[in-house]
Amino acid sequence: MVVAKSDKLVASLKEAVRLLRPRIVIETGTYLGEGSTQAILRALDQRQPEIFYTLEVSWKYCEQARSNLSRFPFVRCLWGLSSSKQGAIKFVETDPFLNELDPALDIFVDFLPDPVAGYLNELRGGLGDERDLGAPEGLLAPLLTKHKADRPLICLDSAGGLGWLEFQEVHRELDGSVFGLFLDDINHVKHYRSKLAVERSDEFTVIDSDWEEGWMVAVHGAAAAR
């Protein structure tokens, strides 16, 4: 649950920051604020954004992350689900990729032999804290809409079942905009499809990626960003 904070990753994020000069950072899947969050903070260095939003669905983890990140006053840890709960449940229930996984794919998958059941259990409150059953929903889209002109740097790092759903939401909401994209876990069912979509798209320029460490950094609208 902690992304590798390699020098290679930080260098790639620094290049994205140099190209974008993002006024806003949006991250999904904070956990404790010690993984991808720290890699982004290292890359930002002296280019402090106006706000760094980071979303976490677990109340307990969100509170711990707020404490861990308290020395960064521009970081706002938001408690809640990036999408609507029912929309996420429907996605997992009907997604053919999850429901008919190709065993020949060399990717990580949670909850085998039944990942769909495992991801649905997570969405329905499987972390075991009753407070999470009332978590706010649909936090990602309003932030994307509000900040689409702010050249945001987006990090997608939510739980395994929602990666492709979040990627599609980012692409839909920010279509035509300049933004950076940091995908965590491209060698996982979470973002395997997101990785392929970025690589096949003329709208993205990949700065770098690492299959073993499981990340990709890209810029959307690269010509405008430069």
In this prediction the pTM is 0.94
- pLDDT for residue 226: 55
| pLDDT tens, N- to C-terminus, the chain (226 residues) | 444 468 999 999 999 999 999 999 999 999 999 999 999 999 998 889 999 999 999 999 999 999 999 999 999 999 999 999 999 999 999 999 999 999 889 999 999 899 999 999 888 876 667 787 788 999 999 999 999 999 999 999 987 789 999 999 999 999 999 999 999 999 999 999 999 999 999 999 999 999 999 999 999 996 555 5
144 lies in some domain = yes
- What integer pLDDT is reported at residue 196 of this predicted model? 97
Q: Is 94 inside any structural domain?
A: yes
Instruction: Check residue 124 and give its pLDDT.
Output: 84
210: which residues sit within 8 A by CB, 6+ positions away?
Answer: 4, 6, 8, 9, 216
Any domain includes 208: yes
Can you tell me the distance from the alpha carbon of 158 to that of 106, in angstroms, rounded to the nearest whole number? 21
Q: Residue 125: which domain range?
A: 7-225
Is 2 within a domain?
Answer: no
Pairing of strands 179-184, 215-220: antiparallel
Place of tokens 């930080």: 10
221 in a structural domain? yes
* Residue 162 falls inside a structural domain: yes
Radius of gyration, CA atoms only, the chain? 16
Residue-wise pLDDT tens digits, 98-116: 999 998 899 999 998 999 9
In a domain, 1, yes or no: no
Of 220, 225, 214, which is closest to residue 170 (Cα–Cα)? 220
Total domains, the chain:
1
Residues 6+ apart with CB under 8 A from 88: 81, 123, 161, 162, 165
CATH number at residue 160: 3.40.50.150
In a domain, 181, yes or no: yes
